[in-house]
Structure 1
Amino acid sequence: MAPTLRMGMVGMGNAGLAFISAIQNHPDFEWVAFVEPHETTKVTYETRWGVKGYTDLSAMLASELLDVVCIASPTEHHTRQALEAIAAGLHVLVEKPMAVTLEDARTMVRAASDHGVILLVGHSHSYDMPILKMREVVASGRLGAVRMAHNWCFTDWIYRPRRPDELSASSGGGVTLRQGSHQFDILRLVCGGRVRSVRARTYDWDRTRPAIGAHCVYLDFEDGAVATAVYNGYGGFQTSELVEGLSEWGFPQPARGWDVKRRGQIASNSQDELRAKQERAGKVIPDHAPFHPFFGITVVSCEGGDIRQSPQGLRLYTAEGVEEIVYATDRSPRELVLDELAGAIHGRVAAVHDGGWGMANLEICLAAISSSERATEIFLNEQRAVPL
Structure 2
Amino acid sequence: MTAQPATPDEPVGVAVIGAGYWGPNLVRNFMATSSFRLRWLCDLDIGRARSVLGEYSKVRASDDLAEVLADEEVQAVAVATPAGTHLRVALAALQAGKHVLVEKPLAATYDEGRRLVEEAERRGLTLMCDHTYCYTPAVLRIRELVHSGELGELHFLDSVRINLGLVQKDIDVMWDLAPHDLSIIDFVLPPGVHPTAVAAHGADGIGAGRACVAYLTLQLNTGAVAHLHVNWLSPVKIRTTIVGGSKRTIVWDDLNPSQRLSVFDRGVDVATREELGADQRRDMLISYRSGDMVAPALTEREALRTMVDEYARAITTGAPALTDGRAGLRVLEILEAASRSLGQGGRMIKLSEGHLA
**TM-score range with shorter-chain normalisation?**
0.7 to 0.9
Amino acid at match of 2:33: H
Amino acid at match of 1:174: D
Alignment partner, residue 11 of structure 2: 4
Q: Secondary structure at the match of 2:47?
A: helix
Alignment partner, residue 189 of structure 1: 187
The C-alpha deviation readout for 1:223-248, integer Å capped at 9, x for no partner, is 22211110111252221xxxxxxxxx
Q: CA deviation at 1:340?
A: 1.6
Alignment partner, residue 333 of structure 1: 303
Distance 1:54 1:235, change over 3 A: farther
Alignment partner, residue 335 of structure 2: 365
Q: Secondary structure at the match of 1:112?
A: helix
Counterpart check, 1:158 vs 2:196:
no
Amino acid at match of 2:135: Y
Aligned pairs for 1:60-139 within 5 A: 60-63=68-71, 65-139=73-147
Alignment partner, residue 224 of structure 2: 225
TM-score (norm 2): 0.84
Aligned residues: 317
Distance 1:124 1:362, change over 3 A: farther
Q: Secondary structure at the match of 2:78?
A: strand
Equivalent residue for 1:36, pick from 38, 43, 49: 43
Q: CA deviation at 1:103?
A: 1.0
Q: Secondary structure at the match of 2:185?
A: helix
Aligned pairs for 1:1-388 within 5 A: 1-48=8-55, 49-63=57-71, 65-159=73-167, 167-168=169-170, 173-192=171-190, 194-207=194-207, 209-239=208-238, 296-309=239-252, 311=257, 312-318=259-265, 319-329=290-300, 331-347=301-317, 349-375=319-345, 376-381=347-352, 383-384=355-356
Taking the aligned partners of 1:120 and 1:50, their CA distance within structure 2 comes to 27
If you compute each CA radius of gyration, which structure gives the higher value, 1 or 2? 2
Taking the aligned partners of 1:361 and 1:105, their CA distance within structure 2 comes to 10
Q: CA deviation at 1:87?
A: 0.5
Q: CA deviation at 1:176?
A: 1.6
Amino acid at match of 1:85: A
The C-alpha deviation readout for 1:231-273, integer Å capped at 9, x for no partner, is 111252221xxxxxxxxxxxxxxxxxxxxxxxxxxxxxxxxxx
Contact 1:122/1:353 (<8 A) preserved: yes
Moved more, 59-68 or 96-105: 59-68
TM-score (norm 1): 0.77
Root-mean-square deviation (CA), in Å? 1.9
Taking the aligned partners of 2:351 and 2:165, their CA distance within structure 1 comes to 28
Alignment partner, residue 163 of structure 1: none
Taking the aligned partners of 2:232 and 2:18, their CA distance within structure 1 comes to 25
Distance 1:186 1:96, change over 3 A: same
Q: Secondary structure at the match of 2:299?
A: coil
Q: CA deviation at 1:384?
A: 4.3
Moved more, 121-130 or 184-193: 184-193
Alignment partner, residue 269 of structure 2: none
Contact 1:200/1:371 (<8 A) preserved: yes
Consecutive unaligned residues in structure 2, runs of 5 or more: 1-7, 266-289
Contact 1:300/1:307 (<8 A) preserved: yes
Amino acid at match of 1:368: A
Q: CA deviation at 1:348?
A: 7.2
Distance 1:349 1:339, change over 3 A: farther
Amino acid at match of 2:233: Y
Amino acid at match of 1:167: K
Contact 1:83/1:111 (<8 A) preserved: yes
Alignment partner, residue 4 of structure 2: none
Structure that is richer in strand per residue: 2
Contact 1:151/1:187 (<8 A) preserved: no
Taking the aligned partners of 2:229 and 2:244, their CA distance within structure 1 comes to 17
The C-alpha deviation readout for 1:134-156, integer Å capped at 9, x for no partner, is 01101111220111011101112
Distance 1:333 1:94, change over 3 A: same
Aligned-residue sequence identity (percent) comes to: 26
Taking the aligned partners of 1:26 and 1:237, their CA distance within structure 2 comes to 37
Q: CA deviation at 1:45?
A: 3.0
Runs (4 or more) in structure 1 with deviation over 6 Å come to none
Contact 1:150/1:300 (<8 A) preserved: yes
Q: CA deviation at 1:367?
A: 1.1
Consecutive unaligned residues in structure 1, runs of 5 or more: 160-165, 240-295
Taking the aligned partners of 2:41 and 2:28, their CA distance within structure 1 comes to 14
Alignment partner, residue 272 of structure 1: none
Q: CA deviation at 1:316?
A: 0.7
Contact 2:16/2:26 (<8 A) preserved: no
Taking the aligned partners of 1:348 and 1:54, their CA distance within structure 2 comes to 29
Contact 2:69/2:93 (<8 A) preserved: yes
Q: CA deviation at 1:313?
A: 4.7
Taking the aligned partners of 2:64 and 2:210, their CA distance within structure 1 comes to 30
